[in-house]
Structure 1
Amino acid sequence: MGKLPEEAEAIVREYVMLMEEAFPSQLEGLYIHGSIALDAYVPGLSDVDFIAITRKRLTERESRIISGIHQKLANKWSAPEMDGCYITWEDIGRTSPVKDVLYFHFNGGRVQEGAHFNSITWWILRHYGIKIAGPEPMELNLEVEAQNLVSYVLENMNTYWTRRIQMLEYLIHSGILPPEDEIHSEIEWSVLGMLRQFYTIKEHGIVSKLDAGRYALHHIPEEWHPIIYEAVRIRKGGKEESLFHSNEKRAAAAVSFMKYLLVYSNKLFVEDHRGSIR
């Protein structure tokens, strides 16, 4: 586990021990992806993103036991939080769950039904994933086509991120902005989150939020640099002085930039698709 940050390594070690005590020989594979795998871990912000491979599918009773395991870890360590899914070997590489199959994932402090895996998950696992247990990631026969990755990301921008833009716009126009700490979190999450999508569409790869922000400063017009700097500033801990003098101006700048980036990304995809057809 030498590649893991010290605090994440401690949590993962105890997690493996508790899983083995509760379910002997059930955990056959465990992989870390996300910011840790991308060497972009930020203490206090980043999660321990994991994929747990179990020998057989979990039952609801077993999911409750696993929920207890995660609760023990949370009681001992407030951060970083674990965030991941429980699947079997046959799910490796799937971009959607199997119909009528019961999946479980852990997020937001509890085990929930459903699956959290997609093209981004598999791409990071194949190229940067950290093995805790099981075969090496390169031995998992994971093939993620660049076009599939880009198509998934663009769909995400036109659904999830579009709805987020609309929500922020509504809050601004209604004059009911959330507290400053929530504004900070929203700007960091939304601006850098969308810039990660932009990087994928433009470069057919995946980078961390901070790297996406740095990349954008070389590929996005200067008029948008203040809000990008602001998002990077917040991600890095917010110690430098903000370029914005009010939450309203900062939120409005974020919405304007996100709308611009949505249009620009769709245009890039169309141009790239035309080029591939030729």
Structure 2
Amino acid sequence: MARYLTELVAAAGEALGDDLVGVYAAGSVALGAYQPGRSDVDVALLCARPLPAGRKRELAARLRHEALPCPARGLELVVYRRDVARSGTPEPGFEVELNTGARMPPRVTWSGDERAAADGRFWYGLDRSILHAGGLALLGPPAGEAFADLTTADLRRLLVDALTWWLALPTPPGDEPAAGTEDAVLGACRALVRCRDGGWLPKVAAGRRLVGQGHPAAGLIERAIAARRGGRPPGGAAARAFQRAVRDDITRCYDPFDI
């Protein structure tokens, strides 16, 4: 993975030149929770000014899997202007987004304004919040300086939006094991821990924290954690009920940063 990230930084520099002012590993790589065969590689680039269309196309061409093979399931790359990253905006605000990989549907979006509401516009503000807290700088200043955090109100709103989006996805009826429900449960755990405790944790670590705190859904959370290691995932109905409960908790939870 280290070699791939080094090559990615070099390829991005060749495409963007002096406009490239920062490269940051995010997600599971930055949080020390990367799981080979399961995790994506999440990377954020910072540029000094708005990118012209030609540079966007060149960057996407150099970093797509066919040109720079990604050793993970896929690469999720987002480019932000430096001033957008420092603004704390909850809006997508990106210059270009690239999803590419051997086991990931390819997609390129050329600006944040093109991101459809149905696909979720909450991802980017939350990702920048995670970068602010624990991004790994591969080039440029520390992530805590390069990325501003969200306000408490924006954070809570985006987390509620995220849970609402997940709840709208089709899930098999009943409580038979359903693929992907473990991620839905553990993602909700991470959101709840962020609101309650004020810090971002990897999904499994957030689930374990809630279990250790005696959460009423500890059994469901433990099943979701076990599913990440190959166990049977939780059923769809149970996962949805947990997500709804977490969404309700976040909507009304007391946040120490409010005072």
Normalising by structure 2, what TM-score? 0.78
Provide the rounded CA distance (Å) in 2 between the counterparts of 1:73 and 1:117. Answer: 25
Residue 37 of structure 1: how far off its partner (Å)? 1.5
Note the residue ranges of structure 1 that are not aligned, 5 or more in a row: 1-6
Structure 1 equivalent of residue 119 of structure 2: none
Q: Is the 8 A contact 2:61 2:67 kept in 1?
A: no
Write the mapping of 1:23-172 to structure 2, written as runs, cut at 5 A. Answer: 23-72=16-65, 76-93=69-86, 94-97=89-92, 103-107=95-99, 108-115=105-112, 117-118=124-125, 120-140=126-146, 142-157=148-163, 159-164=164-169, 167-168=170-171, 171-172=172-173
How many residues get paired? Answer: 242
Provide the rounded CA distance (Å) in 1 between the counterparts of 2:257 and 2:47. Answer: 43
How big is each residue's C-alpha offset from its partner over 1:193-225, in whole Å with a ceiling of 9 and x where there is no partner?
A: 111111112112211111111012133545x33
Note the residue ranges of structure 2 that are not aligned, 5 or more in a row: 100-104, 113-122
**Max Rg structure:** 1
Provide the rounded CA distance (Å) in 2 between the counterparts of 1:141 and 1:79. Answer: 25
Against the structure 1 CA distance between its residues 273 and 188, is the aligned structure 2 distance closer, same or farther, given a 3 Å change threshold? closer
Write the mapping of 1:227-246 to structure 2, written as runs, cut at 5 A. Answer: 227-235=220-228, 237-238=229-230, 240=231, 242=232
Q: Is the partner of 1:207 in helix, strand or coil?
A: coil
Structure 1 equivalent of residue 116 of structure 2: none
Q: Is the partner of 1:62 in helix, strand or coil?
A: helix
Normalising by structure 1, what TM-score? 0.73
Structure 1 equivalent of residue 250 of structure 2: 265
Against the structure 1 CA distance between its residues 76 and 251, is the aligned structure 2 distance closer, same or farther, given a 3 Å change threshold? same
Structure 2 equivalent of residue 254 of structure 1: 239
| Amino acid in structure 2 at the alignment position of 1:132 | L
Residue 276 of structure 1: how far off its partner (Å)? 5.5
